[in-house]
Chain A
């Protein structure tokens, strides 16, 4: 089945640690995105990538990093520089402009 897979579903991290969230898609989409969702805040864009080996910062990129070495994969690293990392993280992909974005099931990150 085609789709987007995020892992893990739940993640706990100690303060000061970096953690990497996985996002894989087999839809052959060029564009991929990472969003963060907090209660009452809607979805906010962290990073996006339109093509392999290229990515751009979104509205809230500070404290995050990404890579796009393969078309299928767009991992997100939450670094210790992110001041408030506890949130629900959603990965999405799309063919291009004026097309719907497909979402993964999300990763809920909790800093303990």
Chain B
């Protein structure tokens, strides 16, 4: 059975801190790993990773994939209160019709 495990499940930090969110996976026929941010309703896309060791970066957010160790991290530097959200990791595998298998998410709260 495919599994996606995120850690920690929740996190509270102060503005300006740097955080690292973890995602490990066990899937058959891996295709890609995606990160989403969910603030209230619709998850919004952050990154898609398909190759090991290549960092994707967008402003203060960055992410990298290790296909040998089967995990990914999402880093947020100089956190702001607007970064408070649930961060979802999802994996696409062959045989599931492009559907994404999600982890339970990490709930991040950034306090002023």
- List residues of chain A with CB under 8 Å of any chain B CB: 31, 33, 35, 40-45, 48-50, 56, 58, 88, 90, 94, 96-106
Contacts of B105 in A (CB 8 A): 42
C-alpha gap A105/B38 in the complex (Å)? 11
Contacts of B109 in A (CB 8 A): none
Across chains A and B, the number of contacting residue pairs, with CB separation under 8 Å, is 68
Establish whether residues A40 and B104, one from each chain, have CB atoms under 8 Å apart when the complex forms.
yes
- List residues of chain B with CB under 8 Å of any chain A CB: 4, 6, 9, 31-32, 34, 41-45, 48, 50, 88, 90, 92, 94, 96-105
Establish whether residues B102 and A97, one from each chain, have CB atoms under 8 Å apart when the complex forms.
no
C-alpha gap A99/B92 in the complex (Å)? 9
Chain A nearest CB from B79 CB (Å) reads 22
Chain A nearest CB from B42 CB (Å) reads 4
Contacts of B104 in A (CB 8 A): 40-42
> Which of A43, A94, A106 interacts with B98 by CB under 8 Å?
A94
Closest to A45 in B: B99
Contacts of B90 in A (CB 8 A): 43
Contacts of B32 in A (CB 8 A): 97-98
Establish whether residues B45 and A50, one from each chain, have CB atoms under 8 Å apart when the complex forms.
no
Establish whether residues A43 and B88, one from each chain, have CB atoms under 8 Å apart when the complex forms.
yes
Closest to A108 in B: B41
Contacts of A33 in B (CB 8 A): 99-100
